[in-house]
Amino acid sequence: MERDLVEYIAKSLVDDPAGVSVNEVDTDEATVIELRVSQDDIGKVIGKRGRIAKAIRTLLSAAATRGGKDVRLSILD
């Protein structure tokens, strides 16, 4: 569910939705959601001073809390 949430938000923000790739990696400590977007759209996902990335992480944390999981977002270039 968290993977779908991140994908939906990212595709809504960028100019090239086809360039959005979301991968879910399970580790011992947490589930890591890896988000990749095209180079031209990286600024739109991070935002000024990281505000958009922080907002996405807040929404992700709220969604994960309902499931009792620890989920982290990693934005990769």
State the fold for domain 2-76: GMP Synthetase; Chain A, domain 3 (3.30.300)
**Count of Cβ atoms closer than 10 Å to residue 21 Cβ:** 13
**Domain boundaries, given as residue ranges, for the chain:** 2-76
Of 3-17, 32-46, 57-71, give the lowest mean pLDDT range: 57-71
- Statement: residue 74 has pLDDT above 90: yes
- Statement: residue 38 has pLDDT above 90: yes
* Element containing residue 75 per DSSP (H, E): strand 71-76
User: Any idea what the Cα angle at residue 65 is, between residues 23 and 20, rounded to 5°?
Assistant: 25
Whole-angstrom distance, CA of residue 41 vs CA of residue 52: 13
pTM value surpassing 0.85: yes
Q: What is the pLDDT of residue 22?
A: 97
The distance from CA 26 to its chain's CA centroid, rounded to whole angstroms, is: 15
